[in-house]
Amino acid sequence: MKIQWFTPFPPERTDVGNFSVRVCQKLAQYCELTVWVSPEHFRWIRRFRRSFEFKMLSYDAIDDYRQELNRADALFYNLGNNAAFHREIIRILRQFPGVAIMHDLSLFECVSSIYRERLGGDRMFLDLVRHLYGVRSEGIVEDWLLAGDEARRKIDAASECPFAGHATLGAWGLVTHTEIPQGHELHHDLSHQWT
């Protein structure tokens, strides 16, 4: 079996990376595993990869491995809430469908960062919020955008707009660490995509 695994990886300071090290060391015993990581950390990892029983590649090599990705038995995408670690993973998921592993129930911070770092990004982000969650949510997120850091902590935009469905567009399936209760905003968000 051939598995492709997209993830942050040490030395990135994220629990998702630490989780992936443990899982990949076990998984490699049962399959042909390729782990995809950030280009900036790939150089560091190459020095130590002899200790890993799996192949490692950098996200910037995607175009060279399109056939292998399309022929893989399964692709797994580890998604968390920090755009610095997960923006590329979300981009690749949309090109190559697979299973999304959500390490956070809301990906609001990640998705908002991806949109807002573009020219005119705040407006694009508010348009997306209105389209997915309605005018009331747009108002809450607009207040969040205009607030300072201290005031932002008091505005719960993340549970109002979890963006789980939007961040996992292209996914064949979804795995979470937590059961999503019926009626929860996240359950509603995902039901649009998975029904």
Query: Which CATH number characterizes residue 79's domain?
Result: 3.40.50.11720
Q: Are residues 154 and 184 in the same domain?
A: no
The contacts of residue 101 (CB under 8 Å, 6+ apart) are 76, 77, 78, 79, 174, 175, 176
Region 184-194: mean pLDDT is 52
* Predicted pLDDT at 194: 46
Which pLDDT tens digit goes with each residue over 11-21?
A: 778 888 888 88
Q: In a 3-state reduction of DSSP, which class is residue 76?
A: strand
| Amino acid found at 120 | G
- Pairing outcome for strands 74-79 and 2-6: parallel
Residue 35, pLDDT above cutoff 50: yes
Residue 12 sits in which domain range?
2-107+163-194
Phi, psi for residue 173 in degrees, rounded to 5: -160, 175
Spatial separation of the C-alpha atoms in residues 3 and 6, rounded to whole Å: 10
> What mean pLDDT value characterizes the chain?
85
Tally of structural domains, the chain: 2
* Predicted pLDDT at 45: 59
Tell which residue, 73, 54, 66, has the closest CA to residue 7: 54
Which pLDDT tens digit goes with each residue over 60-77?
A: 999 999 999 999 999 999
